[in-house]
C-alpha cells in the first residue's frame, strides 16, 4: 500500500470585508486543534485510491493520515501506516485555518479500510471506507440536487435518509449550489455539520454551481477559494478548470463533472470543456456514462433558458449516447426522456435520461413542459441509483422515505436505452 499526497497547492490569503462577521471569535464554526470538515473525495480510480481533506486551526502546522485494512482489534491500529498530508495556511474574511489534503494509492479494490486524520494528541475518530470494486460489479450511488439552504436544519435528514437507503454507496453526487454563498465560511460549516460522518465515509463528487462562484475585486466571476481548499478532486480536466471539470471511473461507469457556470458565460472556458468532453467520451472504455452539472439543459422554469448547454452540449451527449444527465439549479423536480427535444441534426428520440432535482429547503414552483415525463415541486428529494450489469435502477425518494419517482434504464444493443417506468 503506497501513500502520498496528490498535489501541492500554494498558500493563499484572501481578505474581504464581511458584514456581521469581523473576527474569528464571531465565527460559529471556528477551526480547532481537532480535525473537522473531514471529507472523502472521489479520485480518478476509487478502486485503488482515496482522497481526504480536513481542517484545523493554524496552531496545527501539519497533518497526517493513518490507514489500514479494517480490523476488529483496536490494538492492531498502533502501527497503522502514516503519511504526511499537504498543508496550506488559509485566510478568508478574517478566519484563519489550516487545510490538509492527502491521497492514498495502491489500495486493494472492494476492500474495507479504516483511517483517521490528525496530529499529535488531536485526531479524528476512525472512519470506515470501502474502495470501489471492479467493472461490472453491482453498486449504488447517491445523487442530490441543490442543498443551498437548510444545511443545518432541513437538509441533514436528507443526508441521513440517503445513507440509510444506501450505506455502501460508492459516491455521493452534488449537482451544484451546495451552499448559498460560497465565500461564507459559516455556510460551509453548516454543511459539514449537517452531513457529519457521512462526508468522511462516502466519497463525494461535487460539481460547482453559480452560488459557489462570486465576482472578485476585478469583477471577474470566479469559484470560491474554499472549493479547492476543502475538496481534493481529480485534476484530469482542462487547465484552469481543475477540480471543477473532471471525471472518475467506478465499476464500469464514467462519471463526469462539468462547470456549467463557465458554460453559462460562454467564454473560452466553455470551449475548453467542449474539446475535453469530446476527448474523454471518444475514448471511454466504460459501459455507462453519467454526466452532472448545475444549470439544466432543459429548464423547469420558462424564465430560464440555458442556451449554451442546449445548443453546444446536448449534441455531444447525443453523439456519444450519454446515459444520464443529472442537474440542479431550478429548485423543483423534473425528469424526461421520451419527449426531450432533439438538437438540430439529430433524428429520433434522445439517448439520455435528463433529471433536475433539489434536496434543500429552498423551493420554486415548477412549470410543466413537453419534455417532462415526471414533475414535482415543494418537496425535498434525494436519489439512490443502482448500476447492475445492463441495467440502471433509478429511485427518487422524499424526505419521509416515500418513492416519488422510479424507473429503470435497460441497455439495448445497437439502440438507445429503454426506459421502464414504475407507476
pLDDT tens string 123-159: 999 999 999 999 999 999 999 999 999 999 999 999 9
Give span(s): CATH 2.60.40.380, the chain.
Answer: 3-130
For the domain covering 139-421, report its CATH number.
Answer: 3.60.21.10
Summarize the confidence of residues 70-81 as an average pLDDT. Answer: 96
Confidence of residue 7 (pLDDT cuts 50, 70, 90): very low
Q: What percent of the chain has pLDDT over 70?
A: 94
- CATH number for the 3-130 domain, one of 2.10.10.90, 1.10.3720.10, 2.60.40.380, 1.20.58.1030? 2.60.40.380
pLDDT tens string 151-184: 999 999 999 999 999 999 999 999 999 999 999 9
Q: Give me the pLDDT at residue 1, please.
A: 52
Confidence of residue 4 (pLDDT cuts 50, 70, 90): very low
Average pLDDT in the chain: 92
pLDDT tens string 258-316: 999 999 998 999 999 999 999 999 999 999 999 999 999 998 876 788 899 999 999 99
- Tell me: pLDDT of 59 over 50: yes
pTM: 0.93
**Rounded Cα gap, residues 405 and 41, in angstroms:** 28
Summarize the confidence of residues 63-82 as an average pLDDT. Answer: 97
Q: Give me the pLDDT at residue 304, please.
A: 80
pLDDT tens string 349-408: 999 999 999 999 998 877 778 899 999 999 999 999 999 999 999 999 999 999 999 999
Q: Give me the pLDDT at residue 116, please.
A: 98
Give span(s): CATH 3.60.21.10, the chain.
Answer: 139-421
Amino acid at each position: 500500500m503506497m501513500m502520498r499526497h496528490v498535489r501541492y497547492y500554494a498558500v493563499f490569503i484572501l481578505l474581504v470585508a464581511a458584514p456581521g462577521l469581523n473576527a474569528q471569535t464571531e465565527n460559529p464554526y471556528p477551526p480547532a486543534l481537532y480535525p473537522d470538515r473531514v471529507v472523502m473525495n472521489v479520485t480518478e480510480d476509487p478502486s485503488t485510491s482515496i482522497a481526504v481533506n480536513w481542517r484545523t486551526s493554524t496552531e496545527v502546522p501539519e497533518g497526517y493520515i493513518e490507514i489500514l485494512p479494517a480490523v476488529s482489534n483496536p490494538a492492531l491500529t498502533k502501527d497503522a501506516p502514516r503519511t504526511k498530508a499537504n498543508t496550506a495556511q488559509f485566510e478568508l474574511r478574517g478566519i484563519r485555518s489550516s487545510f490538509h489534503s492527502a491521497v492514498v494509492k495502491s489500495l486493494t479494490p472492494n476492500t474495507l479500510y479504516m483511517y483517521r486524520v490528525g496530529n499529535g494528541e488531536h485526531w479524528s475518530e476512525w472512519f470506515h471506507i470501502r474502495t470501489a470494486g471492479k467493472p461490472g460489479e453491482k453498486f449504488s450511488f447517491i445523487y442530490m440536487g441543490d442543498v443551498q439552504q437548510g444545511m443545518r436544519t432541513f437538509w441533514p435528514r436528507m443526508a441521513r435518509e440517503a445513507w440509510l437507503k444506501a450505506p455502501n454507496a460508492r459516491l455521493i453526487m452534488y449537482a451544484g449550489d451546495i451552499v448559498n454563498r460560497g465565500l461564507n465560511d459559516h455556510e460551509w460549516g453548516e454543511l459539514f455539520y449537517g452531513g457529519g460522518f457521512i462526508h468522511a465515509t462516502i466519497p463525494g463528487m461535487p460539481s460547482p454551481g453559480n452560488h459557489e462562484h462570486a465576482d472578485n475585486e476585478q469583477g471577474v466571476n470566479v469559484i470560491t477559494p474554499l472549493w479547492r481548499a476543502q475538496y481534493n478532486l481529480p485534476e484530469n480536466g482542462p487547465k484552469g478548470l481543475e477540480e471543477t471539470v473532471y471525471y472518475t471511473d467506478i465499476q464500469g461507469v464514467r462519471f463526469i463533472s462539468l462547470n456549467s457556470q463557465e458554460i453559462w458565460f460562454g467564454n473560452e472556458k466553455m470551449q475548453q470543456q467542449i474539446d475535453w468532453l469530446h476527448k474523454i467520451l471518444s475514448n471511454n472504455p466504460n459501459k455507462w456514462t453519467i454526466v452532472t452539472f448545475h444549470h439544466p439543459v432543459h429548464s423547469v422554469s420558462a424564465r430560464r433558458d440555458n442556451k449554451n448547454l442546449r445548443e453546444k452540449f446536448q449534441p455531444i451527449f447525443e453523439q456519444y449516447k450519454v446515459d444520464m444527465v443529472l442537474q440542479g439549479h431550478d429548485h423543483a423536480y423534473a425528469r424526461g426522456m421520451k419527449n426531450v427535444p432533439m438538437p438540430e441534426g439529430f433524428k429520433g428520440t434522445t439517448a439520455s435520461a435528463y433529471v433536475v432535482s433539489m434536496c434543500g429547503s429552498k423551493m420554486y414552483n415548477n412549470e410543466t413542459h413537453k419534455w417532462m415525463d415526471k414533475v414535482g415541486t415543494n418537496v425535498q428529494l434525494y436519489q439512490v441509483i443502482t448500476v447492475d450489469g445492463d441495467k440502471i435502477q433509478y429511485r427518487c425518494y422524499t424526505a419521509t422515505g416515500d418513492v416519488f419517482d422510479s424507473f429503470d434504464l435497460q441497455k439495448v444493443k445497437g439502440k438507445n436505452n429503454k426506459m421502464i417506468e414504475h407507476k
